[in-house]
């Protein structure tokens, strides 16, 4: 019998240590089904103390630990390698809302709380928790914090980092650090909280967090605008920000091909225009006054954009159902691309003003090197973040295309680098981009990151093979 797993059973209960293949399978393969790892087992603790006790055992038996939330990550961060030496530590049983403070405007939740449940808890308390992404029905707040997730509300509310005031963390030595402070100001030394956010489980395990809440908007309006080029979309962004300021809460770009894919794989989702257009932008306005006020602003933006020839068509959702169906078009791009087959993802950011040039130049370079590749370009234009995804040429087998992944990545990422951008704007590095990042970060930066890792996790048991 495995002594280590037996001791884990004594901590969490025998039924919370999964070892049968049928039980562990969903925890070992990534969301995109690109990689399947192996593990000694999946351990499912129910409290920070149980997490700490398991991590102590991992130290004692030198067992690597892979923290996992909803397993929706896109960079192979949440699954173990193929050695079979690690455990997956699933946080999904730790899903309670611990407290809501309506004066402080904060909510304290456990790491395994599903994002959508957190949004609902905030709404039921009359507040908004603004983090929103396509995987919100299954990703967890612990995973969101560990990847510093972005999503569609960053333009107004910031990344997950900006939404977090305090953390509870189990260190790689198995101690519990209670940093659950709901303070908006706290300059008492190094910011440990920010070190764990975005660390992809390589520095410790987040077990709970204090998060910011916001007033619920009085009105929320959605519109879809059609235009010729990404540069036109940037002009629209400038116009909308100028007229709406902080009321502009979403600004998502989608190319014609993205929506063709959605329509092909989800035929019930239709574009609301009679004719197609090369580019589309989904705009969202959130207003603290009234629906009429929001509508007046939105109509003014659309009228000006039409008059100036920036866009050639637009629809404003007239109901919540219509608004949802516009958002569904956007959110189904990832799913439609997965249905279409294997693809190579690039989650990049460049200065917002340079997005048009980046797309133009990189499209040319890619078509020259890999003729016929199909570009699935969409993303959070208001944040300078593009999902510059590449699907194989129609006639090419998926696997033959994926074999060229390194070469495709190099064309795209070198271009990102020339444009002073980042090769991971929101999904993180995981195991997927761990080698790649060394081409673009300086030796100084890599050494500083390695020094932090060595200081916090000298036994190297926390999510090995990820980031570094």
Site residues, ligand 2HG (CB under 6 A): 134, 334, 345, 347, 379, 387, 389, 426
Q: Is 51 in the site for ligand FAD (CB under 6 A)?
A: no
* Residue 218 in tokens: 């009085």
Please select the residue that binds ligand FAD; options are 8, 91, 301, 381, rule is CB under 6 A: 91
Q: Are 77 and 466 spatial neighbours (Cβ–Cβ below 8 Å)?
A: yes
Say which entry of ligand 2HG, ligand FAD, none residue 68 contacts (CB below 5 to 8 A, set by partner kind): ligand FAD
Q: Which does 71 bind (CB under 5 to 8 A by kind): ligand FAD, ligand 2HG, none?
A: ligand FAD
Q: Please state the length of the chain.
A: 468
| Assigned token pair, 114 | 């599903």
Residue 376 interacts with ligand FAD (CB under 6 A): yes or no: no
Closest CB to ligand FAD among 205 and 213? 205
- CB within 8 Å of 440: residues ≥ 6 apart: 413, 416, 417, 423
Residue (134 or 356) nearer to ligand 2HG, CB: 134
* Dist CA 427 CA 408 (whole Å): 19
Nearer CB in complex with ligand 2HG: 165/253: 253
Q: Which residue in 209, 230, 338, 336 sits closest to 279, CA to CA?
A: 230
Q: What radius of gyration do the chain's Cα atoms show? A: 23
Long-range pairs, 318-327, Cβ under 8 A, ≥24: 322/222, 323/220, 323/221, 323/222, 325/269, 326/222, 326/223, 326/224, 326/272, 326/282, 327/222, 327/282
Question: Contact between 149 and ligand FAD (CB under 6 A)?
Answer: yes
Phi, psi at residue 182, to the nearest 5°? -95, 45
Q: How far is the CB of 384 from ligand FAD (least distance, A)?
A: 14
Name the binder of 67 from ligand FAD, ligand 2HG, none, CB < 5-8 A by kind. Answer: ligand FAD
- DSSP-based helix, strand, coil % in the chain, nearest 5: 40, 20, 40
Shortest gap between Cβ of 330 and ligand 2HG (angstroms)? Answer: 7
Any alpha helices (H) in 216-350, and if so which ranges?
Answer: 230-244, 256-265, 291-307, 320-331, 333-340
31 binds ligand FAD (CB under 6 A): yes
Is 150 among the residues that bind ligand FAD (CB under 6 A)? yes
The residue whose Cβ lies closest to ligand 2HG is: 334
User: Which residue number, 93 or 328, has a Cβ lying nearer to ligand 2HG?
Assistant: 328
Q: Which does 198 bind (CB under 5 to 8 A by kind): ligand 2HG, ligand FAD, none?
A: none
Nearer to ligand 2HG, 92 or 334 (CB): 334
> Is residue 379 involved in binding ligand FAD (CB under 6 A)?
no
Backbone angles phi, psi at 363, to 5 degrees: -55, -45
Exposure class string for 204-237: b at 16+ Cβ within 10 A, else e: bbbbbbbbbbbeebebbbbbbbbbeebbbbbbbb
Select the binding partner of residue 387 from ligand 2HG, ligand FAD, none (C-beta < 5 to 8 A, by kind). ligand 2HG
Secondary structure E strands in 85-218:
87-90, 97-101, 106-110, 127-128, 164-170, 176-179, 205-212, 214-215
- Nearer of residues 158 and 361 to ligand FAD, judged by Cβ: 158
Q: Pattern 195-224, binding to ligand FAD, x per CB under 6 A? A: -----xx---xx------------------
- The contact set with ligand FAD (CB under 6 A) reads 31, 66-74, 77-78, 91, 111, 133-135, 139-140, 142-144, 146-147, 149-151, 200-201, 205-206, 334, 426-427, 430, 463, 466
């Amino acid at each position: 019998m495995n002594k280590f797993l037996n001791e884990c059973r004594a901590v969490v209960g025998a039924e919370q240590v999964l070892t049968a293949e049928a039980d562990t399978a969903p925890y070992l393969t990534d969301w995109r089904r690109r990689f399947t790892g192996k593990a000694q087992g999946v351990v499912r603790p129910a409290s920070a103390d149980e997490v700490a006790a398991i991590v102590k055992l991992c130290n004692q038996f030198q067992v690597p630990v892979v923290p996992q939330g909803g397993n929706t990550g896109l960079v192979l961060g949440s699954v173990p390698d193929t050695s079979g030496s690690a455990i997956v530590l699933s946080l999904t049983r730790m899903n309670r809302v611990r407290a809501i403070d309506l004066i402080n405007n904060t909510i304290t939740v456990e790491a395994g709380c599903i994002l959508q449940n957190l949004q609902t808890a905030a709404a039921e308390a009359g507040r908004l928790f603004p983090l929103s992404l396509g995987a919100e029905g299954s990703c967890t707040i612990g995973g969101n914090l560990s990847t510093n997730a972005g999503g569609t509300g960053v333009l107004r509310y910031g990344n997950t980092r900006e939404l977090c005031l305090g953390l509870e963390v189990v260190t790689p030595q198995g101690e519990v650090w209670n940093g659950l402070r709901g303070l908006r100001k706290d300059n008492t030394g190094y910011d440990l909280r920010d070190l764990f956010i975005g660390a992809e489980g390589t520095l410790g395990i987040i077990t709970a967090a204090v998060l910011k809440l916001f007033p619920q908007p009085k009105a929320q309006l959605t519109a879809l605008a059609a235009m010729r080029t990404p540069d036109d979309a940037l002009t629209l962004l400038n116009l909308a920000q100028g007229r709406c300021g902080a009321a502009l809460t979403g600004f998502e770009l989608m190319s014609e091909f993205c929506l063709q894919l959605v329509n092909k794989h989800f035929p019930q989702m239709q574009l609301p225009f009679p004719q197609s257009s090369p580019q589309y932008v989904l705009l969202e306005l959130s207003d603290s006054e009234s629906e009429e006020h929001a509508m007046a602003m939105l109509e003014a933006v659309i009228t000006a954009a039409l008059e100036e020839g920036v866009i050639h068509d637009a629809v404003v959702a007239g109901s919540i159902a219509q608004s949802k169906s516009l958002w569904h078009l956007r959110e189904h791009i990832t799913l439609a691309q997965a249905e279409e087959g294997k693809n190579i993802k690039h989650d990049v950011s460049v200065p917002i003003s340079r997005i048009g040039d980046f797309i133009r130049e990189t499209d040319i370079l890619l078509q020259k090197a890999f003729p016929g590749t199909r570009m699935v370009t969409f993303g959070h234009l208001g944040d300078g973040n593009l999902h510059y995804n590449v699907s194989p040429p129609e006639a090419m087998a998926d696997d033959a295309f994926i074999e060229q992944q390194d070469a495709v990545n190099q064309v795209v990422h070198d271009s990102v680098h020339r444009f002073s951008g980042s090769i991971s704007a929101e999904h993180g590095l995981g195991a997927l981009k761990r080698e790649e990042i060394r081409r673009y970060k300086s030796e100084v930066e890599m050494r500083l990151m390695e020094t932090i890792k060595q200081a916090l996790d000298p036994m190297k048991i926390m999510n090995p093979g990820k980031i570094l």
